[in-house]
Structure 1
Amino acid sequence: MSKKCQIDFVSEVVNLTAPDFIFNDFYYFDKIPSTQDFAFEIIKRKKKINPSVVICNTQSRGKGRKGYLWSSPKGGIWVSIFLESTLKLENLFLFVMIAAICICETIEKETNLKPKVKWPNDVFVNGKKVAGVLLDVETCIDNGKNKIIIGLGINTNNDLRLTKSKLKNKHHNHYPMTTLKDEANKPDISNAHFLSRLLNNLSHHLSKIESDTFVNENILNNYIKRIMESRSHIVYSFNVDEKAFEGEIVDVDIDGSLLVRDIHQQKIIKIHSANSVNLR
């Protein structure tokens, strides 16, 4: 993509944003190893950071949770946003909840699809994975502000066969994947419109995350509702103490942890969400 096309794309995204939009800086690349790693390099260099957005057309080493590769060919939305936060470490999973809910709400507005959240950080449509969230945190002791990086990968228009081929032999993928274009049966999803709506939604919630308890409670309830709804579409498998088992979700705690019933042993186990927050 030419520089002019990149500028036009960002301009279209920004022109559709609300007046109280919090993101000040945009970085756009045709190809980059990882938007998450680029954002991390920025926050390491700067003592104070503005809420910013990193966008690319393709990633050669896109990152998923637990170090897995996130396949990122042309056509999808591959974005990282970064900002500062005074939230305590035990509350940082709220960023994952907000990002997942904002993706779901954007999908609902841009398509006729009904997305669900698969715990802890994936978005599914019709029982297939369509998006994911990655949270990295640079902890700071000096000023009490942690630097937050939220990675967002959304399969919008990317070629599904190519996306799957890039994951082959990289890691075992338990769940099928799809794209919004395939599920909505549309000629194309406007990435500019989708991203603008998504960033507007994120901006709204993130601007209130440290001051508005009511908004955060709504996010938590929405997150829990979508997790519980996902149980009818997804068979959950868990790993505790290196022992894998299939489990039924009983409840979701305020910190994102799960209460799970082991299907075979019929006992309740608490699964923590801590490994969904990567501290650097």
Structure 2
Amino acid sequence: MILKVLYQSDGEPVSGVKISEAAEISRVAVWKHIKALKQAGVDIKALPTGYALQDAGNLLYPFCFPKHIQDKIFYFPELDSTMDQARRMARQGVRHASCVIAEVQTASRGRLNRPWDAARGGLWFTLILKPDLPPPLAWTVNFAASACMSEVLAGLFDLDVRVKWPNDLLLKGRKLSGMLSEMETRADMVDLLFLGIGLNVNNEPESDQYQAISLKTALGKPVSRKQVLARFLDLFESRITAIDPARIISQWKERTATIGTEVRVQTHDRVYEGKALDVDDTGALIVKGVDGITRKIIYGDCFHS
């Protein structure tokens, strides 16, 4: 309640008395709650006239979002993994396209079970999807998501964000976002699909070990995580209302950085090197190997040379 009161003040200071009355708690309790929020990383400034929220665009609580999606937003200060939490919540019957967000993840993972650095300031979330799809078409959701996020970031910040097969995002050749999907089937249809997305926003992922970049680094200033997520959720849900594989592939190809590039693709048991020629209508990558043989690669981790 206290955070909501501060958020709705649009950055203007709110006195301890008004907060106390709105939350129906004592002034001492208000002070304790403010202190706890600041310790949790919320930027609240104490002024002579009251308390003011400094970085409202970085908050990801349900009340921060447009009303039509508020009941789909589930925010947690810390989780082991949004993917694992999404699985637990799916059993509780949450709505299609519900979004599980964590400020910090302590055991996040990427493709091929690689660890993913999910520190404060990034955008870490998993979507709980209930698509009317057979399992062979589940790949379309991943491709739609990466193309949508690329479009959203290009539109908001005028950045040349590109998709890398199968569903990473690159900015200036560095990794900006990674996506991971897991599904559960029932009979011959997808029952649940969990789409985990990690986007470097206001964190600083750059290191000698990881060729990564964040929006903050690229733009030289922090940006609104809430704005990014709200735009993405609206666009993505509209794109998957009626799945059209040909349209999704076409939209993905418009933003690709992989086709025409020399690549190294690592699967569970092999490594393929060559030139990426195309992505076919099943989402598979067509690679002409250094041995001259053209192969269709259905799944793997792709690295650009």
Structure 2 residue aligned with 1:179: 214
2:106 to 60, 68, 92: 60
231, 235, 253: which one aligns with 1:224: 253
Residue 259 of structure 1: how far off its partner (Å):
1.1
The structure whose Rg is larger is 2
Q: Please state if 1:31 is matched with 2:78.
A: yes
Name the stretch that deviates more: 33-42 or 246-255.
Answer: 246-255
- CA root-mean-square deviation: 2.8
Amino acid paired to 1:230 = T
SS in 1 for 2:264: strand
Q: Tell me which residue corresponds to 1:139.
A: 185
Going from structure 1 to structure 2, the CA distance change for 1:149 and 1:113 (only over 3 Å counts) comes to same
The percentage of counterpart residues that share the same residue type is 24
Question: For this pair of structures, how many residues does the alignment match?
Answer: 250
Partner of 1:188: 222
Q: Does 1:149 align with 2:183?
A: no
1:272/1:29 CA distance change after superposition, 3 Å: same
Give the letter for the 1:252 counterpart.
Answer: V
Shift of 1:217: 2.9
SS in 2 for 1:109: helix
C-alpha distance in 1, partners of 2:201/2:270?
Answer: 35
Within 2, Cα distance between the matches of 1:77 and 1:101? 17
Q: Distance in 2 between matches of 1:219 and 1:243?
A: 28
The alpha-carbon distance between structure 1 residues 266 and 134, as it changes in their structure 2 partners (threshold 3 A), is: same
CA contact (8 A) 2:62 2:74 kept: no
How far off is 1:47 after superposition?
A: 5.9
User: In 2, Cα distance between the equivalents of 1:119 and 1:195?
Assistant: 22
**Structure 1 residue 265: Cα displacement:** 1.1
* Deviation of 1:201 (Å): 1.0
AA of the residue aligned to 1:182: T
Aligned to 1:261: 288
Partner of 2:237: 203
* Inter-CA distance 48–111: structure 2 relative to 1 (3 Å threshold): closer
Distance in structure 2 (CA, Å) of the matches to 1:178 and 1:231: 22
Q: CA deviation at 1:58?
A: 0.7
Deviation at 1:86? 2.1
**Match for 1:9 among 54, 60, 75?**
60
**SS of 2:149 mapped into structure 1:** helix
- The AA in structure 1 aligned to 2:263 is Y
Instruction: Kindly state the Cα deviation for residue 203 of structure 1 after the two structures are TM-superposed.
Output: 1.8
Query: How do 1:79-118 and structure 2 match up within 5 A?
Result: 79-118=125-164
1:59-84 residue CA offsets vs partner (Å, 9 max, x unmatched):
01112111111110000100111021
Conservation of the 8 A alpha-carbon contact between 1:24 and 1:50: no
Given residue 135 of structure 2, which amino acid in structure 1 is its aligned partner?
L
Give 2:297's match in structure 1, choosing from 266, 271, 278: 271
Aligned to 1:125: 171
Distance 2:142 2:126 in 1: 13
Partner deviation per Cα, 1:117-138 (whole Å, 9 max, x = no partner) = 1111211011111001111101
Residues 102/114 of structure 1: CA separation in 2 closer, same or farther (3 Å cut): same
CA separation in 1, counterparts of 2:94 and 2:216? 39
Q: List structure 1 segments (4+ residues) > 4 angstroms apart after TM superposition.
A: 5-8
Write the distance in 1 (CA, Å) between the matches of 2:199 and 2:83.
14
TM-score, normalisation: structure 1:
0.79
Under a length normalisation based on structure 2, what TM-score does the superposition of the two structures give? 0.73
Unmatched tracts of structure 1, length 5 or more: none
Residues 57, 78 of structure 1: 8 Å contact kept? yes
Cα deviation, 1:125-184, whole Å, max 9, x if unaligned, reads 111110011111011239x451111101000110224xx48xx6xxxx6xx211111122
1:159 aligns with 2:159: no
Kept in 1: contact 2:134–2:190 (CA 8 A): no
